[in-house]
A and B are shown apart, each in its own frame.
Chain A
């Protein structure tokens, strides 16, 4: 029983899972049940009072989901995790623990379009005010800090253009401001970047993308780094103050360095309700077992495709941090040395019409609104994922009208290049 740190691939297969104690089943069973019997009244009371470890009801926790939670926590180097129904649900649950109405959070302007919408509209109606900052200008984060700032939110590799964020620099701003840094690590996955190693206090994922990896299941997860001290100054009452929902328990005092994950479960998931189906958890877990293999192939293919596009006469520019000439290449070498991810954009000399034409001519690439599938995907963000932004905001978030986004799959790269070649010349 030596304390030896297993490698990432070993954790991807084993962390959180052990043979089922009842049946010996080696694959993680799908505990497709809403509820779990109590041993007796005292056991029930202990579970409801958070005094005992165990299962009550699948909206609060489920054994299949728990395996997924421990696995992702292990891969990210966090103390605990909470799986929820989608990436968007993860974002709501995280911010509900941190913000009261009237509070602010700072978010990088380069984000998935859906997150920009969520922050701008849905969260505004909760009284959570987003303040935008430019991830290419670290000082803009510092300038955005006010006494009401409760968190900073960034993407490690930003959707759609695959730009790389300087996590360490922004974590320094967060530490100085005394607020946690939340990193959406969806496009990198922990195989490429582990934000906690660079100063993140909370990591969120849309499991729908590379972690699940097969385009078949929605899911989201929140990872607690165990690094933030929630007790100071009463700034985070969900964690530091006695909770009336639980007869006066103080979560940080009781659960220490995984209190945030517990708060998300017992104050967020329990009361807001976006529970992940155990079936989806099973599908995503199966996907994670091959994450290191898939992710490397995604990146290798993406680099080959980006290089091909960069040399094509119909292409105006390629934005892929893995290219030596790219603006983000230095950051990519630092944060994602194994590969710069597989989601990136390029623009066509023929503008909007050429983009629409390309999408319609492609045979292998699927035209749809997702990323991180085994299959290669294509979309025109300006008319879809980012369509609700105005033109200036589209350009600022890297989704101008001439821009096409690719999510490169794990097919043979020669076939992907051939498909792009025929579609560009058609």
Chain B
């Protein structure tokens, strides 16, 4: 997979197929991006599991925190890692010990570890880096258009009026895919510099 620019169908396929998502680094603080994403994905019908050893015994929007991936005790489709790039590898290594393996490992906006990605991909796990699943879901459904964001999708179909707790169709026509050409280029330059 070219991690500088993802085709929309790749992201769409992931968000359309996964049901359970373990979020590593989920924060109970309601101004943290992980809290935003956790809440949004739960509202859109995903089975969300907060993973954070610092908060075991508490819950996040009604879901009990677990200390680590191995404590979940049931198969999970996707691991969404809300940690800095430098903390990705150990999480991926732990994920690779799970049985069954997760289908997807997703690294949050700003997080990228190409070596960890290669490791996961070598055993057939799909990897997404430096993206936010909330933003991608909002973009492919065009819900994010309320914020003036370029969803880079088009549709001449009448969508149902979105309500809370409803899954939205992600199957609009894509415009080019990936991010915009200019922002992809900038992200790539940044990755190469660091």
Contact = CB atoms under 8 A, between A and B. Distances in A.
Chain A bound to chain B: yes
Interface of A: 1-6, 10-11, 14-16, 18-22, 24, 39, 43, 46, 49-55, 61, 63, 65-67, 69-70, 73-74, 77-83, 196-197, 225-229, 242, 246-249, 253-258, 261-262, 265
Interface stretch (B49-57, B67-75, B92-100, B158-166): B158-166
A77 B174 contact: no
Contacts of A18: 142, 154-159
Contacts of A5: 175-176
A61 B144 CA distance: 12
A53 B160 CA distance: 16
Interface stretch (B17-25, B31-39, B115-123): B31-39
Q: Which 6 A-B pairs rank lowest in CB-CB distance, beginning with the nearest? A: A3-B177, A226-B183, A69-B148, A73-B150, A227-B186, A19-B158
22 contacts: A1-B9, A1-B12, A3-B7, A3-B178, A4-B173, A6-B154, A11-B175, A15-B175, A18-B156, A18-B159, A22-B161, A51-B40, A65-B148, A73-B148, A74-B152, A80-B147, A80-B148, A226-B183, A253-B110, A256-B109, A258-B147, A258-B150
Interface in B137-194: 138, 142-152, 154-164, 171-183, 185-187, 190
Contacts of B80: none
B147 A61 contact: yes
Nearest to B171: A1
A246 B173 CA distance: 35
Given A3-B9, A21-B159, A54 B150 contact: no
B142 A79 contact: no
A47 B160 CA distance: 21
B158 A20 contact: yes
Nearest to A229: B190
Contacts of B158: 18-21, 24
A3 B152 CA distance: 10
Contacts, number: 165
A78 B180 contact: yes
Contact of A249 (B31, B143, B146): B31
Most buried by A among B12, B109, B145: B145
B179 A257 contact: yes
A79 B31 CA distance: 23
A24 B159 CA distance: 9
A332 B177 CA distance: 30
Contacts of B145: 16, 66-67, 70
Contacts of A46: 39
Contact of A53 (B147, B173, B174): B147
A181 to B, nearest CB: 12
A82 B186 contact: no
B60 to A, nearest CB: 13
B86 interface: no
B148 A15 contact: no
Nearest to A243: B31
B182 A225 contact: yes
Nearest to B13: A1
Nearest to A11: B175
Contact of B150 (A50, A78, A228): A78
Contacts of B150: 15, 70, 73-74, 78-81, 258
Contacts of B128: none
A218 B35 CA distance: 39
B183 A63 contact: no
A73 to B, nearest CB: 4
B31 A261 contact: no
Given A22-B161, A69-B148, A256-B135, A15 B40 contact: no
Given A4-B174, A73-B149, A53 B143 contact: yes
A1 B174 CA distance: 7
A79 B149 contact: yes
Given A2-B174, A21-B159, A226-B183, A70 B149 contact: yes
A14 B156 contact: yes
A80 B180 CA distance: 10
B194 to A, nearest CB: 10
B161 A21 contact: yes
